């Protein structure tokens, strides 16, 4: 199928289905038609329909709002391609537009004052996760086969789990954030894509990974193309797993069941699987890092508001952003330079303690991606920009904690690669992801194991009911 035909098929699907899902917030349909007629670059993905998350990755001349009402109202457009945006162009992707996210990509729920909620194709009453919720929903709904996302604490993996797709957070320094950023959120941020298959994730990493001059972190290069790892024998791995225990409140049983069934599958595949109390758990359960991460987040948000305000020529205030965003920026006023440096140092100490577990005999750690199923949106009384816009009530009327980043943010601190795979579904047909973490730089091992699991427990045949045509009776 020619590039123009691929683009038209994707555009038609978006126009038909996206009014219910709200995954694509900025459309460049006419522009991509012109590009397809004029000839897209002859890269490995020439003509493949693609979406860019409206956050770090920028496309010259296109709107760039980061789900902020102030930038949207100002009509701000990017002055340049980010290095990753240029790589996507060289790879030949047909960029159809920008996907939805939470404001400044700060929340694990995609719902902003500027653009509203992205709904989960598996259950339109539920969140698609976040902050890359628009990307995950678009891939799950079949708008595009691959979409860009970013991850500072789980923002690729969380929506991948919620929407039943593949989401890899690569190693720190694997993909450049330049030229606008060297690091973000204290070295926590990275970018990659959400896909339906493991091979697609590997192939895009082959095309777009690599440092740029001046990058503060540079991941070791692969021994061979990552796509060659998919289908390769991973060997007999030593795997530890962390599941949800009966004495822990706020979790959903399908999330625990997903890890338990995956552990059994791994054992059947010949791997050495440990019980659910690996020695790294004392680090994972160290809650002292939460305040440290908050300190770094507060200062980052305040810095971002100053930077973005300068782009539109005025200082941003409380009335320009959502309440949670302003609360974080306001809290930065009480953080001294010394406190910030201490928080950064503590983050590095924590990362070394965590990553040290992989220096022993273990190859992979398995955890739930999410501790809870995707939350439902309330249909009335909603105040955008506040987490209480979700229905957090569980069985028996007990409130659940937010809990969406419970198992994901640690590996942003350590810089390790982690992937969420759609290996389980709840009794109600909601996807439940399982997360796999390898040592720093070992995406090759993740791709080998993920490919083995995709073959053993395939998911390609599954389609969300919200986008599946109903067969007439």
What pLDDT, in 10s, does the model give residues 57-72?
999 999 999 999 999 9
Res 381 pLDDT > 50: no
What is the pLDDT, as a whole number, of residue 424? 97
How many angstroms from the chain centroid is the CA of residue 77? 24
Residue among 152, 51, 169 nearest 108 (CA)? 152
Number of Cβ within 10 Å of residue 224's Cβ equals 10
How many angstroms from the chain centroid is the CA of residue 123? 19
Residue 430 backbone dihedrals phi, psi, to 5 degrees? -95, 130
pTM for this entry: 0.94
Active site residue 380: no
What is the pLDDT, as a whole number, of residue 279? 67
What is the pLDDT, as a whole number, of residue 247? 62
pLDDT (mean) for 104-108: 94
Which of 163-172, 195-204, 225-234, 398-407 bottoms out in mean pLDDT, i.e. has the lowest?
Answer: 398-407
What is the pLDDT, as a whole number, of residue 68? 97
What is the pLDDT, as a whole number, of residue 388? 35
Q: How far apart are the first and last CA of the chain?
A: 33
Which of 141-150, 185-194, 375-384 bottoms out in mean pLDDT, i.e. has the lowest?
Answer: 375-384
At 398, is the pLDDT very low, low, confident or very high (cuts 50, 70, 90)? very low
How many angstroms from the chain centroid is the CA of residue 455? 23
Res 406 pLDDT > 90: no
What is the pLDDT, as a whole number, of residue 386? 39
DSSP 8-class letter at 457: S
The residue with greater pLDDT, 453 or 252, is 453
* Number of helical (H) and strand (E) elements in the chain, helices listed first: 14, 17
- Who's near 114: CB < 8 A, 6+ residues apart? 65, 67, 68, 69, 72, 103
- The SS3 of residue 150 is strand
What is the pLDDT, as a whole number, of residue 180? 95
Q: Which of 78, 82, 152, 155 is catalytic?
A: 155
Res 131 pLDDT > 50: yes
- The SS3 of residue 146 is strand
pLDDT (mean) for 204-233: 97
- The SS3 of residue 399 is strand
Query: 353-366 pLDDT, tens per residue?
Result: 999 999 988 999 99
What is the pLDDT, as a whole number, of residue 276? 61
Res 280 pLDDT > 80: no
Which of 30-44, 329-343, 391-405 bottoms out in mean pLDDT, i.e. has the lowest?
Answer: 391-405
What is the pLDDT, as a whole number, of residue 469? 56
At 390, is the pLDDT very low, low, confident or very high (cuts 50, 70, 90)? very low
Percentage with pLDDT > 90 across the chain? 81
At 251, is the pLDDT very low, low, confident or very high (cuts 50, 70, 90)? confident
Helical pair 443-456 and 253-268, crossing angle rounded to 10 deg = 90
Residues 221 and 174: beta-carbon distance below 8 Å: no
At 9, is the pLDDT very low, low, confident or very high (cuts 50, 70, 90)? very high
What is the pLDDT, as a whole number, of residue 473? 31
Active site residue 171: no
Q: How far apart are CA 175 and CA 420, in angstroms?
A: 18
Res 38 pLDDT > 90: no
Residues 258 and 434: beta-carbon distance below 8 Å: yes
Q: Which two tokens stand for residue 235?
A: 């060997």
Res 383 pLDDT > 50: no
Q: Which of 131, 152, 197, 420 is catalytic?
A: 131
CA dihedral 119, 128, 162, 462 (to 10 degrees): 40
Active site residue 55: no
At 176, is the pLDDT very low, low, confident or very high (cuts 50, 70, 90)? very high
Res 391 pLDDT > 70: no
Q: How far apart are CA 196 and CA 167, in angstroms?
A: 9
């Amino acid at each position: 199928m020619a590039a123009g035909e691929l683009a038209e098929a994707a555009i038609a699907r978006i126009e038909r289905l996206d009014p219910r899902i709200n995954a694509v917030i900025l459309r460049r349909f006419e522009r991509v038609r012109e590009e397809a007629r004029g000839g897209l670059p002859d890269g490995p993905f020439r003509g493949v329909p693609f979406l860019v998350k409206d956050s770090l990755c920028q496309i010259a001349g296109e709107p760039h709002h980061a789900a902020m009402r102030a930038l949207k109202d100002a009509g701000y457009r990017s002055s340049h391609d980010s290095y990753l945006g240029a790589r996507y162009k060289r790879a030949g992707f047909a960029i159809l537009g920008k996907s939805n996210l939470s404001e400044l990509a700060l929340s694990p729920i995609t719902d902003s004052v500027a653009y509203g909620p992205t709904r989960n194709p598996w259950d339109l009453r539920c969140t698609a996760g976040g902050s890359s919720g628009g990307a995950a929903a678009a891939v799950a709904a079949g708008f595009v086969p691959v979409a860009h996302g970013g991850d500072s604490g789980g923002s690729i993996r969380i929506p991948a789990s919620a929407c039943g797709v593949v989401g890899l957070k690569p190693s720190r320094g694997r993909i450049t954030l330049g030229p606008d950023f060297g690091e973000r959120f204290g070295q926590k941020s990275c970018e990659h894509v959400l896909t339906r298959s493991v091979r697609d994730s590997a192939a895009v990493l082959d095309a777009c990974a690599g440092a740029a001059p001046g990058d503060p972190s540079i991941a070791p290069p692969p021994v061979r193309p990552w796509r060659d790892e998919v289908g390769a024998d991973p060997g007999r791995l030593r795997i530890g797993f962390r599941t949800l225990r009966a004495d822990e409140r706020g979790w959903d049983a399908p999330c625990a069941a997903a890890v338990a069934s995956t552990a059994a599958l791994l054992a059947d595949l010949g791997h050495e699987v440990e019980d659910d109390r690996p020695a790294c758990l004392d680090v994972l359960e160290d809650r002292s890092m939460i305040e440290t991460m908050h300190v770094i987040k507060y200062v980052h948000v305040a810095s971002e508001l100053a930077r973005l305000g300068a782009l539109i020529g005025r200082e941003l205030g409380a009335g320009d952003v959502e309440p949670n965003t302003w609360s974080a920026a306001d809290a930065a006023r009480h953080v001294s330079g010394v406190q910030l440096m201490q928080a950064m140092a503590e983050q590095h100490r924590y990362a070394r303690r965590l990553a040290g577990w992989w220096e022993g005999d273990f190859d992979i750690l398995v955890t739930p991606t999410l501790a809870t199923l995707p939350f439902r949106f309330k249909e009335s009384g909603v105040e955008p920009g506040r987490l209480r816009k979700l229905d957090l009530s569980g069985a028996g009327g007990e409130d659940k904690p937010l809990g969406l980043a419970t198992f994901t943010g640690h590996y942003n601190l350590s810089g390790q690669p982690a992937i969420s795979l759609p290996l389980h579904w709840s009794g109600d047909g909601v996807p439940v992801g399982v997360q796999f973490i390898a040592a720093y730089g070992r995406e090759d091992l993740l791709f080998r194991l993920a490919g083995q699991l995709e073959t053993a427990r395939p998911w390609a045949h599954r389609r969300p009911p919200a986008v599946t045509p109903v067969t007439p009776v």
